[in-house]
Structure 1
Amino acid sequence: MSTSTKAETHRAVGTRGWSAGRFGRVLVMLVVSAMFVIPIVGFIAMAFRNQENVAAGSDGFLGLGGMSWDNVVYSWSQITGFGPGEGGLYQQWIINSLILAIAGGLLALVAALPAGYALARLRFRWRRIWLFATLLAMVMPNTVLVIPLFLEVNAIGAVGQLWPVAIIMGFFPFGVYLSYIHFMTTMPPELVEAARIDGLGEIAIFFRIGLPISKQAVALVAFFSFVANWTNFFLPLALLTSNQQNKTISIGIQELIGASPLFNATVAAGLDVKLYMPQLALATVISMIPLLIVFLGAQRYLVRGQTVGAVKG
């Protein structure tokens, strides 16, 4: 084939590749992406602006007008000054959320992986009932369980403390189901039977064979449990509101909004610190950073873990 023929073929393939249908799909994807990206960019830009520019309506393109690092420094000083005395409640809320998210995630891993292995590879009485109960607990709304959990924690006098919330967050049925699917699809029954013939017990099989092939499952359970714990609102609201120092960032953001002159002028009138839209935007953006870090750290395993449950052809 001559060089000119190859060039003509390449142009023909390129022309067919950018047909009207493909162009339309790409255009739709760009429009949908812009619908999500533009509000996020504008919201992040709000943290770099000041209230005067916002009130004057000098937004600029995509709300990027009047941005300055000095505005961020001022907004941060206002956020950290919120609270009695010298403030510092916002930082404490971040620390509390990290403690609960990490502790609850570790407990979820410790409970979910062995439970998923047992449901997938052990044969015991009422196994299907336990699997059904796991699925039922997974789809049950969290709000249904808030009042019973509050009554139980109140019965032991631990309302307002972090440790019972961390233990409850370790109960993660979705992690059990993910582990169950993982061991069902990546751990052949023949491998388990061969290990049993070699004299290994079930605990040894789990630790010596199951865990080494469970990196994707560990990443999935850890990521989803961390996100669920970090964004959990109703459970900390019911169990931690009696102690201002032990609140989480999910409750704290609501408290910052409720103390802003934009939403509650009566409450804000008695505060030395005034929080307006740039301060609230900065507080929200900072609260999303741990989630972004966890996502970036687990991204490689999350992409591989998308095939958990898939069947090879």
Structure 2
Amino acid sequence: MSRARVTESELSGAVGSRQWSAGRIARIATMLLVAAAFIFPIVGFVAVAFRSNEGVANGTDGFLGLGGLSIDNVMASWGQIMGFGGADNRGIFLQWIGNSLFVSIGGALLAVIAAIPAGYALARLRFRFRRTVLVITLLTMVMPNTVLVIPLFLEVNAVGAVGQLWPVLVIMGFFPFGVYLSYIHFMTTMPAELVEAARIDGLGEVSIFFRVATPISRQAIALVAFFAFVANWTNFFLPLALLTSNFNAKTVSIGIQDLIGSSPLFNPTVAAGLDVKLYMPQLALATFVTMIPLLVVFIGAQRFLMRGQTVGAVKG
């Protein structure tokens, strides 16, 4: 028995030594260095929002710029951001965020409503030109957004809706990637035998979709909603083409451009006529605030995103 105990301890020690071998330590050290290379700029960027204009300009905020951090600096910078636009448009930055939430959430809902049924139809229904529709979806998915900006502007201008938010919301609901993702989901997670059994039981195609397909597509719905929201929130060219004529209807993606363009750091001529001057701490804080909705959506959808990584995989 004692010999057996010694053998077990020796084995456990050998396993422990293999777990912390030189190669494993080197790999961990390399990953930590790579992670630090990505994290350090983000930490430095966020830290700028907690610093003062003078500290940033003079470089007197300690080691790596992480000294002189204060909530008072954040509140002062936020007050300057809220004052951008003058007395008539005070708080315009919050209105831009509201506009972005409106078109991003609305566009994501439209994307889900359109993409999930379309993906199911392409995956489990048989109709003429099905493959043609699928190929067109793939081509549209890989087409650069910049190619479509001018045609979309001409169409929106034809109905006299340039400068309004609702055309942007409707266009953002057109999400070919969501259709393809739904197609892959239904092709891999919904057996054809299940659809045939439902048809034998007397269910119509609409009933099959709502009573059979929809309950097993929660992950696909979450994935489509997440990717659509991120794409809509970060979309720049479409709001730039359709909303620049209306100062109050801008989204935050092009509003940030206005903040940068009105800063003395980048455009002293324009900034000379403004009462509120925005410097590096204010721009960093405004950019950080625009990242918060994306972080909230990512954290809320993380469980579905982790499960949805296997969409399209084959179970062994």
TM-score by length of 1: 0.98
Which amino acid letter does the alignment assign opposite residue 138 of structure 1?
A: M
- Determine which of 92, 95, 105 is the counterpart of 1:92: 95
1: CA distance between counterparts of 2:158 and 2:85? Answer: 30
Relative to 1, partners in 2 of residues 1:219 and 1:62: Cα closer, same or farther, differing over 3 Å? farther
In the other structure, the counterpart of 1:175 is 178
1:143-163 CA-to-partner distances (Å, cap 9, x unmatched) read 000000000000000000000
Contact residue 134 and residue 177 of structure 1 kept, 8 A: yes
Matched, 1:300 2:306: no
Contact residue 230 and residue 294 of structure 2 kept, 8 A: yes
2: CA distance between counterparts of 1:115 and 1:299? Answer: 25
In the other structure, the counterpart of 1:19 is 21
Matched, 1:212 2:205: no
Matched, 1:202 2:216: no
Contact residue 41 and residue 62 of structure 1 kept, 8 A: no
The alignment's C-alpha RMSD in Å is 1.0
In the other structure, the counterpart of 2:251 is 248
1: CA distance between counterparts of 2:26 and 2:125? Answer: 51
Which amino acid letter does the alignment assign opposite residue 237 of structure 1?
A: L
Contact residue 44 and residue 65 of structure 2 kept, 8 A: yes
Alignment of 1:25-64 (within 5 A): 25-64=27-66
Query: Cα distance, 1:2 vs. partner?
Result: 4.0
Query: Cα distance, 1:19 vs. partner?
Result: 2.0
Q: 14-23 or 296-305: which moved more?
A: 14-23
Which amino acid letter does the alignment assign opposite residue 311 of structure 1?
A: V
2: CA distance between counterparts of 1:74 and 1:94? Answer: 20
2: CA distance between counterparts of 1:161 and 1:85? Answer: 23
Query: Cα distance, 1:81 vs. partner?
Result: 0.5
1: CA distance between counterparts of 2:63 and 2:305? Answer: 35
Which 4+ runs in 1 deviate beyond 4 A? none
Which amino acid letter does the alignment assign opposite residue 164 of structure 2?
A: Q
In the other structure, the counterpart of 1:135 is 138
- Determine which of 255, 267, 271 is the counterpart of 2:270: 267
1:232-276 CA-to-partner distances (Å, cap 9, x unmatched) read 000000000000000000001111000000000011110110100
2: CA distance between counterparts of 1:249 and 1:210? Answer: 37
Which runs of 5 or more structure 2 residues have no equivalent in the other structure?
none
1:265-308 CA-to-partner distances (Å, cap 9, x unmatched) read 01111011010000000000000000000000010011000000
- Determine which of 42, 62, 72 is the counterpart of 2:74: 72
Which runs of 5 or more structure 1 residues have no equivalent in the other structure?
none
Query: Cα distance, 1:60 vs. partner?
Result: 2.6
